[in-house]
Structure 1
Amino acid sequence: MELSFKHQLGLFCVILLFPAMCHCQEYYTKSRATFYSTSDGYGTPTGACGFGEYGRKMNWYDGRVAGVSGLWRNGVGCGTCYQVKCLIENLCDENGAYLVATDQGYGDNTDFIMSPRAFLKLGRDQSAYEELKKYGTVDIEYKRVPCTYTGNVLFYIKETSSNPGYFALVILNVNGINDVTDVEIWQAGEWKALNRNYGAVFDFPNPPSGDIRLRFRVSGMSDWVDPKIVIPSNWKPGNTYVTEVQLK
């Protein structure tokens, strides 16, 4: 069937718009950013995400972390990754900082409160960084980017856990643009949901006394992710278990 000129024009417009609709991550959002101080420039081991000591460096990001405000999303945004660029032409590096959200924080209408190591990357060089610090808060643009953690997904047992009375964990090294939305535990012949206690911490009272089998779900995937390991019955608070899964 031959299309009229009107229909052909409409189809042409759809073809032009389709790439823009599919690559919305290419666009930046304008905002503001500031920084906090630490003795060594890394992040803080405390915070609303519950990452603990791990949250100071976050794998190869080497301390380039930040507290976020609205991007925290009730904890779902913990561990997500962003490219942040400041907008002072003679001071700011064109690539800016690649960083990880590890905490929640607010300050002077900002979306990011950055660690010193993250804020450093905004500047062209050390001298530019020192000048940026004098501003305190700077105009930025940012976009979410895929995380590129090193290694497989990790199960980190929180120190608040107590075998066998209480079980709490954080799922780490979730690569790509993926949010951990749900975690379930196998108990008494069925899957039962863990509760998001706060931030990235999921917990379950009175877990099974034997090995612990988990599965989790991430945004954008309809199927549950099988870690292909079990947490042994002698698990202890503070232990980390490496799964056989690496997300992209």
Structure 2
Amino acid sequence: MGFPMEKQMVFLGLVVLFPLLCTSDNTFTSSRATYYGSPEAYGTPGGACGYGGYGKTVNFGNVAGVSRLYRNGSGCGACYQVKCTDTEYCSDDGVNVVVTDAAEGDRTDFVLSTRAYTKLAKPNLAMEMFDYGAVDIEYRRISCKYSGYNLMIKVHEQSRYPQYLAIVILYVAGQNDLTAVELWQEGLKEWNPMRRASGAVFDYANPPSGSINLRFQLSGNAGYTWVQSNNAIPGCWKAGAVYDSSIKLA
């Protein structure tokens, strides 16, 4: 899945982010999981969420592609605890993963990176787990916690100053789904929606000059809420740059 633009956009930058994942009180749901191979056992930088290098290395490469949990991109960045249930090789805690892609296997909700799939097994029993290919699991949503980081905004490398702005949202902590992003148009005195181009990537043609105010709609345990960042992106923004929104989520 890519950008529905004249040409497909890709991330070239590598952003290494390591979240601390805290479990919630949610009950477990039964499903199935499989895995995909990669040379380094990490995630893929070409995932549908548009994270680029972040999607490969976040959470030490313990990442997953999901099917119905992708939710048209609003499920990107969500964290889950996944435990296998149908073999004697299964570990008690399983693995905590971050959603970075959309994917579907053999009646599965999760397609795990090789590194993540290995952690479903007890120590030294990973090879036996791989023989199964797909396993029964149970999973639950957990909170993402990024110690020392606020919500961050990365300007997509294919943005073209000043005519076209695309951003990807990083460090969405807690159990929050990012459902909308709006940009303030000072001349019109109104908030205008940015388009969800792909996954966690939002874009806007002909953005206003000067610094840009943004607000983000989040869906979480408290329902829908808006959080706002004034001067979130400077007037002289640059493609590939990462900016701090000063928004701290829990």
TM-score w.r.t. structure 1 length? 0.85
Match of 1:238 in 2: 240
User: In the alignment, is residue 107 of structure 1 matched against residue 105 of structure 2?
Assistant: yes
Question: Which of 1 and 2 has greater Rg?
Answer: 1
Task: Write out per-residue CA displacement over residues 75-102 of structure 1, whole angstroms, 9 at most, x where no aligned residue.
Answer: 0100001000001352111110000110
CA contact (8 A) 1:153 1:247 kept: yes
Distance across 2 between alignment mates of 1:229 and 1:80:
26
CA contact (8 A) 2:159 2:166 kept: yes
Question: Could you say if the C-alpha distance between residues 114 and 182 of structure 1 is closer, same or farther in structure 2, counting changes exceeding 3 Å?
Answer: same
Distance across 2 between alignment mates of 1:111 and 1:213:
36
Query: 2:131 aligns to what SS in structure 1?
Result: helix
Match of 1:164 in 2: 162
1:176-195 residue pairs with structure 2 within 5 A? 176-187=174-185, 188=187, 189-195=189-195
CA contact (8 A) 2:212 2:230 kept: no
Match of 1:139 in 2: 136
> Hey, which of these two has a bigger chunk of strand by percent?
2
Distance across 2 between alignment mates of 1:112 and 1:87:
14
Please report how far the alpha carbon of residue 149 of structure 1 lies from its aligned counterpart in structure 2 after TM superposition.
2.5
Distance across 1 between alignment mates of 2:138 and 2:52:
28
> Hey, which of these two has a bigger chunk of helix by percent?
1
CA contact (8 A) 1:228 1:245 kept: no
| Equivalent residues, number | 222
Which amino acid is the alignment partner of residue 183 of structure 2? I
Question: Could you say if the C-alpha distance between residues 155 and 221 of structure 1 is closer, same or farther in structure 2, counting changes exceeding 3 Å?
Answer: farther
CA contact (8 A) 2:32 2:110 kept: yes
Note the residue ranges of structure 1 that are not aligned, 5 or more in a row. 1-23
Distance across 1 between alignment mates of 2:25 and 2:192:
34
Query: 2:233 aligns to what SS in structure 1?
Result: coil
Question: Could you say if the C-alpha distance between residues 180 and 240 of structure 1 is closer, same or farther in structure 2, counting changes exceeding 3 Å?
Answer: same
Distance across 2 between alignment mates of 1:212 and 1:203:
13
Query: Aligned residues: percent identity?
Result: 48
Which amino acid is the alignment partner of residue 135 of structure 2? V
User: In the alignment, is residue 91 of structure 1 matched against residue 93 of structure 2?
Assistant: no
Match of 1:12 in 2: none
Counterpart of 1:69 (choices 67, 70, 80) is 67
Distance across 2 between alignment mates of 1:26 and 1:230:
33
Which amino acid is the alignment partner of residue 208 of structure 1? P
Query: 2:111 aligns to what SS in structure 1?
Result: strand
Which amino acid is the alignment partner of residue 226 of structure 1? Q
Please report how far the alpha carbon of residue 227 of structure 1 lies from its aligned counterpart in structure 2 after TM superposition.
2.7
